[in-house]
Amino acid sequence: MSSATPTRRRRMSRPERERQMLDVAEQVFAERGYRAASMDEIAERCGVSKPMLYEYFGSKDGLLLACVARVRTELYDATAAAMSGVTEPEEILRRGMSAYFAFMDTRSRSFAMLIQEPMALPSATSEAIEAARRQQSGLIAPVLAAFAPDVPAHAVEAYAEIIIGACERLAIWRTHHPEVTAEEAARYMSDFSWHGLKVHVPGHG
């Protein structure tokens, strides 16, 4: 009777392994919160040794920072792609917001953890989250300025910051109201945003 040849597991490349570690770490951080999450559990779920985690990311702080950096890049890519190729400012903003909320649906638990536990996070992570906000502001502000070219730059920047803060709160609220779709949330935000800005535009007050 012949014995079956055991299947050899394919060795992961470094980028594949890093992606796996980040996927698992993001899930554990979302489930446990930053302080309660352990490198032991993350390593065990990944099927790697804890020293390998440290080899890749240096520390638990470094691992969380890498998770945030990846989310920041992916969020920017998703919203920028949704806003490209459109000419009407209101439609550009609505599409960007729809992409934002759709993206947050895929990361709702980890996003809520980052926003609701600011005091528990390393300072570098808090700075990275703020950098993500600035990235989104860099997408939103030019759209607002195109709609209202005569509005002072500081007013446009203020509205962009208001929109970013409101989007974060609405994204957290939607974790308890899954019946509200990303498109519906985007419509709420778009109506709110343009209503406020139109006060400053001649003929729209």
Report residue 115 CA to chain centroid gap. 11
Q: Which of 99-103, 115-119, 123-127 has the highest mean pLDDT?
A: 99-103
Whether 148 shows a pLDDT value over 80: the answer reads yes
- Give dist(CA 116, CA 34) in Å, integer: 11
Give the amino acid at 177. Answer: H
Radius of gyration of the chain (CA): 21
Q: How far apart are CA 78 and CA 69, in angstroms?
A: 14
CA distance 47 to 50: 9
d(CA 183, CA 97): 8
Share of the chain above pLDDT 70, in %: 92
| pTM, 2 dp | 0.85
Residue 72 — pLDDT band, cuts 50, 70, 90? Answer: very high
How many other C-beta atoms are found inside a 10 Å radius of the C-beta of residue 101? 23
Q: Are 35 and 56 in contact (CB under 8 A)?
A: no
With a cut of 60, say whether residue 59 has pLDDT above it.
yes
Average pLDDT over residues 6-27: 84
As a whole number, mean pLDDT of residues 47-73 equals 95
pLDDT at 189: 93
**What pLDDT was estimated at residue 141?**
94
Does residue 1 contact residue 9 with C-beta atoms inside 8 Å? no
Mean of the pLDDT values across residues 132-148? 92
